[in-house]
Amino acid sequence: MGDGKKANIMSSVKRPKYLNLLKIRLPVPGIVSILHRISGFGLFVITGVILWLFGLSLESKEGFEFALNLMSNSFSKILLIGIFWAFTHHLIAGIRFLLLDIHWGTDILFARISSTIVLVLSVSFTMFFSFWVW
């Protein structure tokens, strides 16, 4: 009887399922995961600007100076720090995911510790970078 009920519930679930982000409460590994996604999307959005600056910096001495000078006002410094955080978090969390993919550190305690390490490292690097930029 139990099985029949279960099958009934299964068939009434509509697929594909879309997630309601507001109903989800996340543990630390989940936070690292969603930040990986958000930072990745942010980096995708900013790619065009970086490519443009990269082109300018190689094209001429003026372009190189222009790209460097663009970094010197507070607004672009804040933006740059944001990009640095997104990049650092995406990189470190990404390395952790690659290790998880080869089944390294998959038990729950270690997963929690390693995800905390990812958060601490990316935030500390970003703080060092902020001091260096300013």
Partner 1 sequence: MTNLLKGCASVIEKLSPLPYGLRQWVGQRLTAVLMIIYLITICVKMVLARPLDFIQWQYIFQPVWMKLWTLLFMLSLFYHAWVGVRDIFMDYVGLLPLRLGLQALVASVLLVYSIWSFNILWSF
Q: Which chain residues interact with partner 1 by CB under 8 A?
A: 18-19, 21, 37, 40-41, 43-44, 47-48, 51, 54-55, 57-59, 61, 64-65, 91, 94-95, 98, 101
- Nearer to partner 1 among residue 4 and residue 16 (C-beta): 16
| Shortest spacing between CB 5 and partner 1, in angstroms | 28
Please check whether residue 85 is in contact with residue 35, taking contact to mean a CB–CB distance below 8 angstroms: no
* Closer residue to partner 1 in complex, CB, 1/19: 19
* One-letter amino acid for residue 131 of the chain: F
Three-state DSSP at 18 gives coil
Shortest spacing between CB 21 and partner 1, in angstroms: 8
Q: Distance between CA atoms of 20 and 17, rounded to whole angstroms?
A: 10
Which residue intervals of the chain are DSSP H helices? 2-12, 28-59, 61-70, 74-101, 108-133
Q: State the minimum distance, in angstroms, from the CB of residue 84 to partner 1.
A: 14
CB closer to partner 1, 59 vs 117:
59
